[in-house]
Amino acid sequence: MRLSTKYMGLELKNPLVPSASPLTEKLDSIKVLEDNGASAVVLFSLFEEQIEKQDSSLEYFTEYGTDSFAESLSFFPDAHEFKAGPDEYLENVRKIKAGVDIPIIASLNGNTPGGWMEYAKKIEQAGADGLELNIHYLPVDFNETSADVEKRYIDIVSWVKSNVNIPIAVKIGSRFSSLPAMAKALEGAGADALVMFNRFYHPDIDLEKLETKRKIQLSHSRDIRLPMRWISILRGNVNLSFAASTGVHSASDVLKLVMSGADITQLTSALMAHGPEVINKINEDLISWMNENEYQSISQMKGSMSLIHRPDPKTIVRDNYMRTLLDFQANTKL
């Protein structure tokens, strides 16, 4: 009970939740995560492009001879490159839900309002306890305004929320003109939680082959600073749960994020680097630190370092900025 937390209405035994990755794709690996102390899991994502491509394939066979395939689909991976299609994903949700005792949060990954959103209802019917909408979108259209981008998010969340009864978390990026205003808008659209933040994987260039080179870099503990800052700003000002994502590797990371206001912390890189046993290790270290510092529960410390407790958050943010620069200047030696 000391480590228990509540996330978008779900009662969890601790704040450690493996995020969507290949590690959360199969029942056997999820059982291992559960045995090592995971309080819930976010399943590997079902992508908008998978659904669109399946729908286009069906349309092709029923309307042979027409231009059934959208040209844009040719830019995305072929169906065989995904380990499972939409129907297999739903069956996997059913098997995993029946095979473990922890809450299962499914993941839909897309960025345009469309037919793929219908799968939210099917995922609920398959037994998922919650749904994470991973709206992974990087604007590149010079005619698309910030208001257009925000509307895209709101439209997706509003439609999904009005068609399902399970709680909805929205995984977003940090690059909105006004993140506080966006958080309020998502709350108004019906979101139950924010997952902060989406990682945008920036491609490199292979100078020998003269082609784009794609590689995922594992996160580092220093990466928690971005979600830590924004969760601290938002906590108490919107009626949402918060999941901190990226950079969670140790009990210290979890403690800092919870004190900033996070309800759960999501982890993947730590699992890839150290194996599922790292979950048990972090839980043990959390208990040890709480004993030493006389904390009775996670809820006791949750949000204790958020800016809701400061009289003038705007001044605090500006003051932190100036003091950081001045401290750096004072410690710089030529």
pLDDT tens-place string over residues 7-25: 999 999 999 999 999 999 9
Token pair recorded at residue 316: 């605090």
* Tens-place pLDDT, residues 139-160: 999 999 999 999 999 999 999 9
Enumerate residue ranges in the chain where pLDDT < 70: 1, 55-84, 310-317, 319-322, 325-326, 329, 334
Q: Which residue has the tokens 């291992």?
A: 32
Tell me the residue ranges of DSSP E strands in the chain.
5-7, 10-12, 16-18, 41-42, 46-47, 104-110, 130-135, 168-172, 193-196, 204-206, 211-213, 241-245, 264-267
Instruction: Count CB neighbours of 187 within 10 A.
Output: 19
With b meaning 16 or more CB within 10 Å and e meaning fewer, what string describes 296-328?
Answer: eebbeebbebbbeeeeebeeeeeeeeeeeeeee
Q: What share of the chain is helix, strand, coil (3-state, %, to 5)?
A: 50, 15, 35
pLDDT at 326: 67
pLDDT at 65: 40
**Which residue type is seen at 104?**
I
Q: What is each CA distance from 242 to 166, 234, 326, in whole angstroms?
A: 17, 9, 32
CA–CA distance, 56 with 279 (Å, rounded to integer): 41
Q: Provide the sign of the torsion angle of the four alpha carbons 142, 147, 150, 152, taken in this order.
A: negative
Instruction: Count CB neighbours of 121 within 10 A.
Output: 15
DSSP 239-273: S-EEEEES---SHHHHHHHHHHT-SEEEESHHHHH
| Domains of the chain, earliest start first | 5-309 (3.20.20.70)
pLDDT at 56: 55
Question: Cβ distance 48 to 114 under 8 Å?
Answer: yes
CA–CA distance, 35 with 276 (Å, rounded to integer): 9
**DSSP 3-state assignment of 274?**
helix
